[in-house]
Amino acid sequence: MLRRSIAPLVAVALAACGDELPAPDVVARVGGSGIALTVFEEYLERSSIELDAGLDDRVLTQLFDDFLDETLVHRMAVEDGVVEASAGRHQALETLVRRRFADELTDERVLLYYRTHLERFSRPERVRLSQILVEERAAAELAHQELASGVPFEEVARRLSTEPAAAIGGDQGYLTRDDLPPAFVETVFELEIGQYSPIVAVDYGFHIFQVTDRRPAETVPSDQAAAEIRDLLRREDSEEIQSSLVEEARGRYNVSVYASNLPFDYQGSHG
C-alpha cells in the first residue's frame, strides 16, 4: 500500500538496450526506462532512511516495492494527463485519489458504521485519581494523620509525596480499571468522591489514594461520534483507492527488477 507521506519523484531514465544486460547501477526497468539505484537512495533519504543503515532485507524489500509502486502510479498519472511530468509523487497520488473519491459521506453510512461498531464508542467507568507516594511508612503515617486532621489532600501531596505529579497535588487524571495495577483496582474504585484510602504498601513504597471525581460507563452518542467516524471512513476510502491505483498501475506496466544490482536480498512482489 502506498504511504501517506510520499516524497517527490526524481526520475532518472536510462535508455533500454534491447535484451542486453543492464548497467551495474540499474536496479529496475519500467517499460523501456531504467531506474538507477541512486533514485531509490534519494527516495529513502527523503524519509531519513539510509540504505546502508543495517535494515533487514525484508524491510528493504518492502521499501523497494513501495518505491516501484509509487513510481508506477506517478507514471500512470502523467500518461493519463492527470498531472505534469514535473509533479511529485504525492501530488500525483492526491490528484488521482481526489478524482476517484466517492461523494461526501452520507449520514446513513456514518450511522451504519456507528451501529455496527458500537463497542468502539463505549467508555468504561472512570475515576479521577490523586495519589501520595512516599518511600517510608513513617512518612505515609504522617501524611495520613494530616489528612485526618483536615489538611487538603493536594497540599499534603505537594509537601510529602515523591512521585512526579506531586507538584500538582498528585493528580493522575481520569483512569479506568484497566489503567490501574490489579492490586489497586478494588481499593480505588470503592472510594467515594473526596474520600481517601488507607495506606497501601507496595514493594517500592506506600500509597494513599483519593478519588476527586467519577464518570460512569457510557456510550458516546452518535452525533458526538460522527466527526470521528467521518475521518475514519475517509481514511479507509483513501487507502482502498490507493490500493486499487497500485493494482491498475501494476497491470499496465511491465516491471523488471535486477536483484543482483541491489545491495540487499530482494524477495519482493515485482518481477
Kindly state whether residues 23 and 99 are assigned to the same domain.
Answer: yes
C-alpha cell at position 21:
544486460
Kindly state whether residues 21 and 100 are assigned to the same domain.
Answer: yes
Segment 205-220 mean pLDDT: 96
Kindly state whether residues 208 and 133 are assigned to the same domain.
Answer: yes
Kindly state whether residues 170 and 242 are assigned to the same domain.
Answer: no
Is 270 domain-assigned?
Answer: no
Kindly state whether residues 101 and 232 are assigned to the same domain.
Answer: yes
42 pLDDT above the threshold of 50: yes
What pLDDT was estimated at residue 98?
Answer: 86
Kindly state whether residues 132 and 166 are assigned to the same domain.
Answer: yes
What pLDDT was estimated at residue 20?
Answer: 61
Range of the domain at 66: 13-105+228-261
Tens-digit pLDDT profile for residues 88-141 = 888 888 899 888 886 678 999 999 999 999 999 999 999 999 999 999 999 999
Kindly state whether residues 82 and 140 are assigned to the same domain.
Answer: no
pLDDT band at 10 (very low <50, low <70, confident <90, very high): very low
Is 38 domain-assigned?
Answer: yes
What pLDDT was estimated at residue 102?
Answer: 65
CATH number for position 205: 3.10.50.40
pTM: 0.60
Is 235 domain-assigned?
Answer: yes
Kindly state whether residues 150 and 208 are assigned to the same domain.
Answer: yes
Total domains in the fold of the chain: 2
What pLDDT was estimated at residue 103?
Answer: 65
Kindly state whether residues 81 and 153 are assigned to the same domain.
Answer: no
Cβ-based neighbours of 119, under 8 Å, separated by 6 or more: none
Percent over 90 (pLDDT), the chain: 78
- What is the 3-state secondary structure of 74-134? HHHHHHCCCCCCCCCHHHHHHHHHHHHCCCCCCHHHHHHHHHHCHHHHEECCEEEEEEEEE
What pLDDT was estimated at residue 13?
Answer: 35
Is 157 domain-assigned?
Answer: yes
